[in-house]
């Protein structure tokens, strides 16, 4: 058992909720946040798992939530940002409204936590800051302009932070899942190779976080490695492959 405290943003459903359950079973005290109260309350038990409803697009609410979290649970050893908006976009649809909404939640949502989180982790002598990005952030995927960009931005930010905070006792980590069953993927109508059960994905994440110090926790390998390889091939070949993806239809 451990007396450590984790805070999972996007912890009411899907991967976040499954990670909360695994951490609680390992003895962690876990705070979960999201906008909807019902899924948070369904998971919270008032003992190991606590609900902190929150909209990550509201800067004031984020600052208040960090303060409330510290007042109630005392510290934040492990912070996992997994809130995300996902909506498949039509090809060549870059309308500013929906595009900024995705960036605001998926990327700026994380940025809003960083200052207060950093201050708290310095005060308590360290901690882990983790972003759930995606293999969709490795490069720009068709019909996923805003989502792919938001995850690429998150990967870049976390890389910067890992370097900048290397000597501070704050470990910065990035999670890149392939396809995992959740509310988010339930809306997809395209093939999802190597789709994983939610629980299995959560176990991979918790194992990676608690039993390694790697920057990147990416899975499943049979999807991750071809994706990584695609980043390295010359652009003419890269775009030939992209145009063959089922989602690339005009």
Ligand X SMILES: NC(=O)c1ccc[n+]([C@@H]2O[C@H](COP(=O)([O-])OP(=O)(O)OC[C@H]3O[C@@H](n4cnc5c(N)ncnc54)[C@H](OP(=O)(O)O)[C@@H]3O)[C@@H](O)[C@H]2O)c1
Active site residues: 147
DSSP one-letter string for 115-172: HHHHHHHHHHT-EEEEEE--GGGSSPPTT-HHHHHHHHHHHHHHHHHHHHTTTTTEEE
CA dist., res. 248 & res. 90, Å (int)? 10
Q: Is 154 in the site for ligand X (CB under 6 A)?
A: no
Q: Is 13 in the site for ligand X (CB under 6 A)?
A: yes
CA dist., res. 112 & res. 53, Å (int)? 16
CA dist., res. 213 & res. 122, Å (int)? 19
* Among the listed residues 4, 5, 6, 16, the single contact to ligand X using CB under 6 A: 16
| # residues contacting ligand X (CB under 6 A) | 27
Q: Is 220 in the site for ligand X (CB under 6 A)?
A: no
Q: Is 57 in the site for ligand X (CB under 6 A)?
A: yes
Contact in structure between 60 and 113 (CB atoms under 8 Å): no
Binding region for ligand X (CB under 6 A) out of 117-125, 177-185, 209-217, 229-237: 177-185
Q: Is 205 in the site for ligand X (CB under 6 A)?
A: no
Q: Is 247 in the site for ligand X (CB under 6 A)?
A: no
CA torsion through residues 69, 160, 109, 33, sign: negative
Q: Is 80 in the site for ligand X (CB under 6 A)?
A: no
Binding site for ligand X (CB under 6 A): 10, 12-16, 34-36, 54-57, 82-85, 105, 132, 134, 177, 179-180, 182-185
């Amino acid at each position: 058992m451990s007396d450590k405290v984790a805070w999972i943003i996007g912890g009411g459903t899907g991967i976040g909720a499954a990670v909360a359950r695994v951490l609680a079973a390992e003895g962690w005290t876990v705070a979960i946040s999201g906008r909807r109260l019902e899924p948070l309350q369904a998971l919270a038990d008032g003992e190991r798992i606590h609900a902190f409803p929150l909209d990550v697009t509201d800067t004031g609410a984020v600052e208040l939530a960090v303060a409330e979290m510290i007042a109630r649970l005392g510290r934040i050893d492990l912070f996992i940002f997994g809130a995300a908006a996902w909506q498949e976009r039509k090809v060549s649809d870059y309308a500013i409204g929906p595009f900024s909404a995705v960036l605001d939640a998926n990327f700026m949502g994380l940025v809003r936590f960083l200052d207060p989180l950093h201050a708290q982790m310095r005060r308590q002598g360290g901690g882990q800051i983790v972003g759930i990005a995606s293999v969709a952030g490795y490069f720009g995927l068709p019909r996923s302009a805003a989502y792919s960009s938001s995850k690429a931005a998150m990967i870049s930010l976390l890389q910067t932070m890992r370097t900048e905070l290397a000597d501070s006792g704050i470990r910065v980590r990035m999670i890149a899942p392939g396809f995992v069953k959740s509310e988010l993927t339930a809306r997809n109508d395209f093939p999802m190779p190597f789709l994983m059960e939610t629980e299995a994905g959560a176990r991979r994440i918790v194992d990676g976080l608690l039993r390694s110090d790697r920057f990147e926790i990416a899975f499943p390998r049979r999807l991750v490695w071809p994706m990584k390889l695609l980043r390295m091939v010359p652009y003419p070949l890269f775009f030939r492959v992209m145009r063959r993806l089922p989602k690339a239809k005009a």
